[in-house]
Amino acid sequence: MHPRNRHREQYDFPALIKSCPQLEPFVSINKYNNESIDFSNADAVKTLNKALLKHFYGIENWDIPDNYLCPPIPGRADYIHYLADLLSSSNKNILPPGKAIRVLDIGIGANAVYPIIGNREYGWQFIGSDIDPVAIRSAKAIISSNHFLTEALECRLQRNPAAIFKDILRSDEVVDLSMCNPPFHASLAEARAGTRRKWKNLGIKKNKSTSLNFGGKSTELWCEGGEEAFVGKMIEQSAQLSSNCFWHSALLSKKISLPGIYRSLERASAFEVKTIPMTQGNKVSRIIAWTFLNENQQKDWRKKRWTN
């Protein structure tokens, strides 16, 4: 994990229970004689997230509707920290002041976890978009029940499922980063197959063939063509707003997606492309980041937006 990730060590369950007493009934000793929870229990996973968000990020009120994605907090934090490094790499290895940074989270989901971590760790301001009205309502409820988020995060409903930036960003509106954790499966059957592998890796023998690991609606987990097709569309549409964002980025779960993504970036005439590896335990993913700004445009951007 990233060196600044607060979740590099094993979960400190006594400390988490102190912050969130509701977690205590879900904690027990596992077969390795360690404290843990049953990760096949949706309520246990959700309550663990509540405890982590309260203990580390000061989030007093957090909840999501049933069957919506309950994301692993450590992995979400890693993406945010690597994006901070990306900004630093474009600013003489100095992180730009947090209050100056605006981020577009494409697919904020019902959980709003990326903006929460980004704001609490770095002070960034966020726009969160989603095509699901229920997810937007849930994210807004999280914002309204945690007062320090009200000025830091704005949610916008994308009414056109084929569009990513259009009707979300105005033609004269700029963001320093766009980020996206795209649906990486190409079909519901593929998503369920992935779930069965996860249950097996967790040593769970119950038949979970029709439920999805850690929840998730179809729009959160799969789309036609999977992550390669989604990010390819994102690249194509980002080129139409080439001067509205410094760095675009997406999180890729499958190494096999990279060649097609690189071809899309070449067709779109991206000025610079970076591939950033991320590792959590045995899981390896990568961030693909691209910008259309040339060296002079980047210099102007830094001067106008990041100078104290």
CA-wise closest residue to 290 among 268, 274, 301, 305: 274
Per-residue pLDDT at 215: 56
- Which residues lie below 8 Å from residue 99, measured CB to CB, with a gap of 6+? 123, 125
Q: Read off the tokens for 160.
A: 């056109």
Report how far Cα 267 is from the mean position of its chain's Cα atoms.
Answer: 26
What pLDDT does 211 receive? 44
Look at residues 283, 204, 194, 208 and name the one whose alpha carbon lies nearest to residue 31. 204
Q: Which domains does the chain have, with CATH numbers?
A: 72-306 (3.40.50.150)
State the DSSP code for 39: T
pLDDT of 207:
46
Long-range contacts of 240-243 (CB under 8 A, 24+ apart): 240/165, 240/166, 241/165, 241/169, 241/171, 242/292, 242/293, 243/174, 243/292, 243/293, 243/297
CA 254/CA 130 separation, integer angstroms? 23
pTM metric for this prediction: 0.89
- Tens of pLDDT, residue by residue, the chain (308 residues): 999 999 999 999 999 999 999 999 999 999 889 999 999 899 999 999 999 999 999 999 999 999 898 999 999 999 999 999 999 999 999 999 999 999 999 999 999 999 999 999 999 999 999 999 999 999 999 999 999 999 999 999 999 999 999 999 998 999 999 999 998 534 455 545 544 455 455 455 554 433 444 454 555 554 676 899 999 999 999 999 999 999 999 999 999 999 999 999 999 999 999 999 999 878 889 999 999 999 999 999 999 999 86
Q: Per DSSP, what are the bridge partners of residue 169? A: 166
